[in-house]
Structure 1
């Protein structure tokens, strides 16, 4: 007896789907940059091109364009096919590893004393903000969201994850949300992170403008850094940034001896950093 056909796996995509997904991301980024250049309001509020591109993708996706035409229409899923959207949905949790792996590449790690001297104020401020956001989120869950709307209590951590952590933390926590039975938490955190960026930029610009007009913020202009003003050029160089001719010559010799181009070498270093992090994760977990 012939076996029944295996149902298609809805969460599968091919390498070609992944390729076109990133091509579409590049096109959306270009479109977002074009729109940002044409709309003076976006420039005045310093809205990033990536946020504008995300807004365009939302308009052209199933949430808006697809909803307008209906699910039975050829445009029911918007302009982006399901495999394309699947690639996009899985990409943040993967590429956040690249972001964190490359954070310290090419940087000089200072001494623990210097790290603490520079980071202590930010640590204190960050912890104050983080715990405050936890308190607000948990109070909302205990008093309103869970009793009234039946929302998962884990949602109490969404404000801190999205606002304090941002898109990177939200993407990295997606797997944890799924393990805890709250898979929609990843999408909610990403949405809240976008809201946090936009509201932070807009409110920050308004506050800075208000402070400047009231005299609470002073704008200090320095000397222009030009070839005609060598004193400004010297002042703009931070200590330790100047490279003597011997260092430049050694770098040039190193680049000549490379059998691969610099961008390939950088990709290799990023891959090595990711591999080291993966090994550490396997050892600790």
Structure 2
């Protein structure tokens, strides 16, 4: 099924008009982000601001936007998330020597196990408490990792999958949980950093330094501006963005073929992780041709960024407020549990996984596991302004082994399917068991335990 079939509007002109309106919302979000100081300090992205404006203007609040427009926007998520994931593995190179030097393996263990924690505990609580007490769908327990580690992009992209699994409420609830996680990541991250500075856990920021007084600029000065992509193919052949879009198109087409095969055996498998596999296959083929040198990963990142901004704006604007209110108490319980376990995970496992700069390595992963990569990066820059630690390098090196799978990738998309097939309790306890096994293996290889130079443990 092609994306246009999910659009309610009857003409391409209507689709263009609704897309233009979405762009206008995003521009308003940018203006608010740039001009309103307290929003800037909270690092709330413009796309999220724009989405909330659309939500207020929508049918559940002011009723100024037509239902047809909201229906069209709700169909954007499943389409745009495939564009985000399709190029993720095209042109990616891996430096194994740097992986060893920068504690990348420890970051992988941290990030993978936060996902297993966010799968396991909520699913078990859902099965044991929330299903019998509130009658929620067992899939409710799978939303935590989708919303927190996956973020708004993944939550929006899973809307279609939840519809196929006969639980339409999952889309709005996932986006709500993603918003809660994002705000918690920002607020709690700043609190944790202030606490860490006072306790002496940070290595590049002390109580004598000013925390958070150096504000980053939302708009670069002309002399500070840099290129965000490079030209790799002559314009008389094809525009560079058009070339990269064509590769994304091939990757998504392969994903459609894979989905058609998988749908014969598994219900509810979303397109976006299969598009990522398609991208991986495209990359393998291109490596054998001269076209491989025309790939610019920065151009792919720009295309992904555009898609993600429009995706988040559309997804948040179409949240069903009645559904959120209906699930208020289950949401409150799961939110409190997740908040507590994320803070405990940070302070207990962080200093035991990293032999050096445990706070810096842990804080960037904490921010990412609560919201998005930008939040993790923002928290790291607060404690390591000049990026003297290897935390950011390791963060980038771990991405090919983590992002395509957990935190919004292939495994994230499979958890709801497995929950329907085997039940929330089985998948929940299975996730916790895998997390424990990973820690046991890490302990056996000396990657987990008390480290002599970890101040936090040996005080």
Fold shared per TM-score above 0.5: yes
The answer as to whether partners of 2:7 and 2:72 remain within 8 angstroms in 1 is no
Return the alpha-carbon distance in structure 1 between the equivalents of residues 116 and 239 of structure 2.
46
Aligned to 1:226: none
1:186-197 correspondence runs (5 A): 186-197=171-182
Return the alpha-carbon distance in structure 1 between the equivalents of residues 99 and 261 of structure 2.
28
Match 2:241 to one of 259, 263, 267: 263
Match 2:18 to one of 18, 21, 35: 21
The answer as to whether partners of 2:78 and 2:159 remain within 8 angstroms in 1 is yes
* TM-score computed with the length of structure 1 as normaliser: 0.70
Moved over 6 A (4+): none
CA positional deviation for 1:213 = 5.2
Secondary structure in 2 matching 1:255? coil
Task: Please give the per-residue CA displacement for 1:232-251, whole angstroms capped at 9, x wherever unaligned.
Answer: xxxxxxxxxxxxxxxx9xx7
Show structure 1 runs of 5+ residues with no match: 1-9, 66-77, 222-247
Return the alpha-carbon distance in structure 2 between the equivalents of residues 13 and 162 of structure 1.
29
The answer as to whether partners of 2:8 and 2:68 remain within 8 angstroms in 1 is yes
Return the alpha-carbon distance in structure 1 between the equivalents of residues 163 and 181 of structure 2.
23
CA positional deviation for 1:100 = 0.5
| Residue 115 to residue 140, structure 1, CA distance change in 2 (3 Å) | farther
Return the alpha-carbon distance in structure 2 between the equivalents of residues 114 and 26 of structure 1.
43
Larger Rg: 1
Secondary structure in 1 matching 2:94? coil
Secondary structure in 2 matching 1:190? helix
Return the alpha-carbon distance in structure 2 between the equivalents of residues 278 and 119 of structure 1.
33
The answer as to whether partners of 2:86 and 2:248 remain within 8 angstroms in 1 is yes
Task: Please give the per-residue CA displacement for 1:182-202, whole angstroms capped at 9, x wherever unaligned.
Answer: 121122112211221222122
Aligned to 2:388: none
Structure with the bigger RCO (C-alpha within 8 Å, sep 6+) is 2
CA positional deviation for 1:64 = 1.9
CA positional deviation for 1:32 = 0.9
Task: Please give the per-residue CA displacement for 1:28-62, whole angstroms capped at 9, x wherever unaligned.
Answer: 11111111122211111211111111121122112
Match 2:8 to one of 8, 12, 33: 12
Return the alpha-carbon distance in structure 2 between the equivalents of residues 156 and 203 of structure 1.
23
Return the alpha-carbon distance in structure 2 between the equivalents of residues 100 and 149 of structure 1.
35
Aligned to 1:120: 105
Return the alpha-carbon distance in structure 1 between the equivalents of residues 34 and 165 of structure 2.
43
Secondary structure in 2 matching 1:80? coil
Task: Please give the per-residue CA displacement for 1:205-249, whole angstroms capped at 9, x wherever unaligned.
Answer: 33224434554332499xxxxxxxxxxxxxxxxxxxxxxxxxx9x
Match 1:109 to one of 53, 77, 93: 93
1:43-122 correspondence runs (5 A): 43-65=40-62, 78-105=63-90, 107-110=91-94, 120-122=105-107
Show structure 2 runs of 5+ residues with no match: 1-5, 210-229, 264-459
* TM-score computed with the length of structure 2 as normaliser: 0.45
Return the alpha-carbon distance in structure 2 between the equivalents of residues 151 and 171 of structure 1.
20
Return the alpha-carbon distance in structure 2 between the equivalents of residues 41 and 206 of structure 1.
16
Aligned to 1:150: 135
Return the alpha-carbon distance in structure 2 between the equivalents of residues 153 and 283 of structure 1.
27
Q: Does 1:279 align with 2:272?
A: no
Aligned to 1:6: none
Task: Please give the per-residue CA displacement for 1:256-277, whole angstroms capped at 9, x wherever unaligned.
Answer: 6x33322222222222222233
Return the alpha-carbon distance in structure 2 between the equivalents of residues 172 and 188 of structure 1.
13
